[in-house]
């Protein structure tokens, strides 16, 4: 299972997503977009817009499933379906 989280370091909902994934024992890659710089940040923001149509955080990608925001039940269901 490939899990990637686009987040902001100051976002409480982003922290909740990371905590949920940790609690579930799911390894994930996190991209803290607000501490990126230059082209790396622009690329991450473009990817978030491509995935969701807006610049809103957090964005969690579980394989090909995109979940925008902190939706614990949806996240847990997606994790269970991918295990």
Structural domains in the chain, sorted by start: 3-82 (3.40.30.10)
pLDDT of residue 7: 98
Question: Which position has the token pair 């923001």?
Answer: 45
pLDDT confidence of residue 82:
83
Closest CA relative to residue 67, chosen from 14, 10, 25, 31: 14
pTM: 0.94
- The tens-digit pLDDT sequence of the chain (83 residues) is 899 999 999 999 999 999 999 999 999 999 999 999 999 999 999 999 999 999 999 999 999 999 999 999 999 999 998 87
């Amino acid at each position: 299972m490939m899990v990637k989280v686009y987040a902001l370091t100051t976002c409480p909902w982003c922290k909740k997503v990371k905590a949920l994934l940790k609690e579930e024992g799911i390894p994930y890659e996190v991209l803290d977009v607000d501490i990126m710089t230059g082209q790396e940040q622009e690329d991450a923001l473009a990817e978030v817009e491509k995935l969701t149509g807006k610049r809103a955080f957090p964005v969690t990608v579980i394989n090909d499933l995109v979940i925008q925001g902190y939706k614990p039940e949806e996240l847990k269901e997606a994790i269970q379906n991918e295990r």
